[in-house]
Chain A
């Protein structure tokens, strides 16, 4: 049974922009092949509340798609091996969250501290 999912990926902000866009493109390709891909929302560069792998900031990216439950494991495996990814989280989308997600994505990107 297909369910609506969303995956938040934090990319290493120290990488050049081209590399990050390349990674986002790769992920989109992956979702287009294996799931009902809806859209990508780049939430922008944000300061991390605590350091992850000695990095202080990351580029947050949200992928929205519909897929079977097995795909979550595949994505997990794929992202864990990717060195450009600091952290990722996949959750089943709540029906009411879609409207809010659009508003959050449309909000201005927070300036990086320090």
Chain B
């Protein structure tokens, strides 16, 4: 049987040695989907530690209206 070879994803935060920041609008936008949902780590490749921090950061950014709770055209 054909065995698929997987390329191991590297955490973007570890790679760039930065931490998730709720004030960084561009960073937060890059980790949410078109619908405004947080991208799961199985897709983004973010490590468990940073995913936890990222989820909190996105929630803070949503409260401060930097990113939407729900996409405008889906309301």
Contact = CB atoms under 8 A, between A and B. Distances in A.
Nearest to A110: B25
A111 interface: no
Interface residues of B, number: 16
Interface stretch (A22-30, A65-73, A88-96): A88-96
Interface stretch (A31-39, A43-51, A76-84): A43-51
Contacts of A87: 63-65
B24 interface: yes
Contacts of B66: 46, 49
A55 to B, nearest CB: 10
Contacts of A101: 21, 23
Interface string B23-61: 111000000000000000000000000000000000010
B65 A62 contact: no
Contact of B64 (A8, A94, A104): A8
Interface of B: 18-19, 21, 23-25, 60, 62-69, 72
B19 A49 contact: no
Contacts of B69: 49-50
A82 B24 CA distance: 26
Contact of A104 (B21, B65, B67): B21
A43 to B, nearest CB: 7
Contacts of B23: 8, 43, 62, 101, 104
Contacts of B65: 10, 48-50, 52, 58, 87
B63 A100 contact: no
A69 B21 CA distance: 22
B68 to A, nearest CB: 4
A52 to B, nearest CB: 6
A10 B63 CA distance: 11
